[in-house]
C-alpha cells in the first residue's frame, strides 16, 4: 500500500547551490558544498574511516559518488552519497555520514538530508521531475516519511516524488 506524507506544494526557482549543516553543540550553521568524486580521488576516502566500501562505488562506472564538505574546508568529508542514473529516476545506493557525524555525539546535523536533497536536485536537473528511489531500514521508514517527505512503496522500498523533492531542495538550497 502506498502511504504519502502531507505537505504543502511549493513553487520556487533554485539559483544558488549553497546549503548548510549545523554544529550540534554551538548551533552554528556552516555553508556546505557537494562535489563529485571520481576514481582518482580515491585517496580522499580512507577505508578505515568509513563503514561502506566507497572504493567499490567509485570504481563502478554506473554510479556517481559525491562528497559533502563545508565551504571553508574541502578536505574534511562530512558525508558521502552514491547514486545511479536509471534514465527515468535517480536510484540512491548509499549514503553515509562521516564517523564524527554518527551516533549521539555527532558533530553536525543535517548531513544525510543535505545529500538526499542534492540527489533530488540531480533528478530534477536530469529531467526526472525529482524522482528518487531507495531502500530504508524498517525502523526508519516513518522517519523518512516525516523528514524527507518520502513515499513508502513496498517492503523497504521508498521513493521521493516531485513535490517532496522540490520541498527538500527548497529546504537546503537558497533560492
x-or-dash string of contact with other proteins, 103-142, rule CB under 8 A: xx-x--xx-xxx-x------------x-x-xxxxx--x--
The count of chain residues that interact with other proteins, using the rule CB under 8 A, is: 51
Judged by CB under 8 A, the residue of 41, 88, 100, 125 near other proteins is 88
Residue closer to other proteins (CB basis): 37 or 131: 131
64 binds other proteins (CB under 8 A): no
CB of 93 to other proteins, least distance (A): 5
Indicate the angle between helix axes 162-172 and 111-125, nearest 10 degrees.
120
Can you spell out the DSSP letters for the chain?
A: --B---------------EEEEETTT--EEEEEEEEE-GGGGGGS-GGG-SS-HHHHHH-TTEEEEEEEETTBSSS--EEEEEEE-SSSEEEEEEEE-GGGSSTT-SEE-HHHHHHHHHHHHHHHTTSTT-EEEE--GGGHHHHHHHS--EEEETTEEEE-HHHHHHHHHHHS--
User: Whole-number minimum distance, CB 15 to other proteins, in Å?
Assistant: 13
Q: Does 56 bind other proteins (CB under 8 A)?
A: no
Q: Give whichever of 40 and 137 is closer to other proteins, judged by the CB atom.
A: 137
Instruction: Count Cβ neighbours within 10 Å for each residue of 32-52 and write b for 16 or more, e otherwise.
Output: bbbeebeeeeeebbeeeebee
Task: Pick between residue 37 and residue 134 the one whose CB is nearest to other proteins.
Answer: 134
- Taking the complex as a whole, the smallest distance from the CB of residue 94 to other proteins amounts, in Å, to 6
What residues from 9 to 48 belong to the interface with other proteins (CB under 8 A)?
20-22, 24, 29
- The contact set with other proteins (CB under 8 A) reads 2, 20-22, 24, 29, 51-52, 88-89, 91-97, 102-104, 106, 109-110, 112-114, 116, 129, 131, 133-137, 140, 143-144, 147-148, 153-154, 157, 159, 161-162, 168, 170-174
Amino acid at each position: 500500500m502506498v502511504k504519502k506524507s502531507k505537505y504543502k506544494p511549493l513553487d520556487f526557482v533554485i539559483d544558488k547551490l549553497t546549503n548548510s549543516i549545523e554544529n550540534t553543540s554551538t548551533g552554528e550553521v556552516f555553508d556546505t558544498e557537494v562535489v563529485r568524486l571520481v576514481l582518482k580521488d580515491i585517496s580522499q576516502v580512507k577505508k578505515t574511516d568509513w563503514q561502506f566500501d566507497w572504493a567499490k562505488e567509485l570504481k563502478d562506472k554506473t554510479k556517481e559518488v559525491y562528497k559533502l564538505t563545508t565551504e571553508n574546508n574541502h578536505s574534511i568529508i562530512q558525508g558521502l552519497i552514491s547514486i545511479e542514473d536509471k534514465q527515468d529516476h535517480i536510484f540512491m545506493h548509499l549514503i553515509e555520514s562521516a564517523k564524527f557525524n554518527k551516533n549521539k555525539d555527532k558533530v553536525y546535523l543535517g548531513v544525510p538530508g543535505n545529500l538526499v536533497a542534492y540527489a533530488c536536485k540531480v533528478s530534477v536537473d536530469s529531467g526526472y521531475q525529482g524522482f528518487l528511489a531507495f531502500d530504508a531500514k524498517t525502523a526508519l521508514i516513518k522517519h523518512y516519511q516525516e523528514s524527507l517527505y518520502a513515499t513508502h512503496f513496498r517492503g523497504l522500498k521508498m521513493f521521493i516524488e516531485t513535490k517532496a523533492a522540490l520541498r527538500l531542495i527548497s529546504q537546503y538550497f537558497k533560492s
